Amino acid sequence: MTNKRILLATVLALAALGYWAWGPRAPEAEVAAGEQDEAHGEEHAEGQPDSTVIILKDAKSWPDPGLPKSELIERIEEAVRKVPGNNYEFTQPIQMRFNELIAGVRSDVAVKVYGDDFEAMGRTAGAIMRALQGVAGAADVKVEQTSGLPFLEIKLDRPAIARYGLNVSDVLDVVAIAIGGREAGLVFQGDRRFDILVRLPDDLRGDLPALENLPILLPAEGGAAAERQALPHSRPRHIPLKEVATLQLTDGPNQISRENGKRRVVVQANVRGRDIGSFVEEVQAKIDAQVRLPAGYWLEWGGQFKNLEEATARLLVVVPACFFAIFVLLFTALGSVMQALLVFSGVPLALTGGILALWMRGMPFSISAAVGFIALSGIAVLNGLVMISSINGRVREGDEPHRAVFEGALQRLRPVLMTALVASLGFVPMALSHGAGAEVQKPLATVVIGGLFTATILTLLVIPALYHRCSLATEVTSKEEP
């Protein structure tokens, strides 16, 4: 019956997805193919996992080519939510494999509960799951399936076993043979051989009353000698299993996961519509307020959030080091700390434009956006250096500071505009793409395009004005000196 229920649920789920894919509600889908897998290592494991791969048509052939992927996933959720008793997770194959290989889980965010008592860990994981479900942006929230595997629990009545002259092994052997089977011989087929296994039929192995009535053969009166002298046609003396044992079906763990030698239960969630960093901060605050960990239990965070933390930690070291190296090179080239700082003044306004562009497009901050900010900073520094070098050249030729600033800025107007225009146009296809890898390309391109707009304004207007102001201040200082 269990296998039939699982098969029925799988068929219903695949039917729902198939109807979604080919029905009038999903003209974006081209193919929906599903497969059902078996849990490895246990033939009676509950809840076989099944997966459905949906191949989409080219976005150009969609009724709405600009339909976001998040809305498409919401349509799928509406179709499969009607099938009860199943948990669904929506992801992409490469993304899922990347998360699993790097962080050990298949979701964006994972909360790992460590401890000793499996029941206490399950209660804690359930409380964390409820906290996650109340956070905006949480999707596919679930607890790692660790229970639900049926166990046949046999409680032996040792006094009754002794009264009948039996041993504990006699009783347990009967149960083991009936359920698990025992080898009774070999069958040869050419060079191959197969074991002959004797056990109860499948319909009786799951029938508790039938198991309770398994016959337990009693030893003959008078010991082994009397048993050997018994007539072949004499009726053997036996009792049902329920006379010496109590049988009941209980639910137990279907797996016990360990990490670093400690038991572990994982609560997983994907993040949609917001950045992972702010999502985890809100979740951590909710867990601290709503979940109380027992003594000796602790939490660890995993998934893409762990990768984000590691990448952020590396960037906090690499980016300042790179900026310092660039500043040293600028000081060496320009020979002035003030002018080096003027060149660096283009970075903040460039970053402001990138942040504004992300906000206008509703994109969260990510590692790809951080890479875009780094590239944007380099372009801003380059344009500022070109502008300062041009003005310095005019000053060396004998022009007054005011005229040198005006002529130098005018001379570099076209190169700066061309640099910004070429770079921006080159990133436009990435910013508007909807194909594979668009989730990574869009934030980077958006940051660069938005930042170049403000950085160009700064380079053409603000840097010359600051240069002129600093030149006037330097002249006044030099006149005041005796």
Looking at the predicted structure, is the pLDDT value of residue 15 above 50?
no
Residues 37-95 pLDDT 10s: 544 444 434 444 556 677 777 767 777 777 777 677 777 777 776 666 666 667 666 66
DSSP string, 37-61: ---TT-TT-SS--EEEEEEEPPGGG
Please provide the distance, in angstroms rounded to a whole number, between the alpha carbons at the two ends of the chain: 103
**Does the pTM of the predicted model rise above 0.85?**
no
Distances (CA, A) of 39 to 149, 180, 422: 12, 19, 54
Average pLDDT over residues 195-221: 84
For residues 128 and 142, give the distance between their C-alpha atoms in angstroms, rounded to a whole number: 10
CA 180 to chain centre: 39
- Backbone dihedral region of 264: left (phi > 0), alpha (psi from -120 to 50 degrees) or beta? beta
**Do the beta carbons of residue 455 and residue 423 sit within 8 Å?**
no
Average pLDDT over residues 22-38: 57
Residues 363-375 pLDDT 10s: 777 777 888 888 8
Looking at the predicted structure, is the pLDDT value of residue 110 above 70?
yes
Residues 130-176 pLDDT 10s: 888 888 888 878 887 776 677 888 899 999 888 888 888 888 888 88
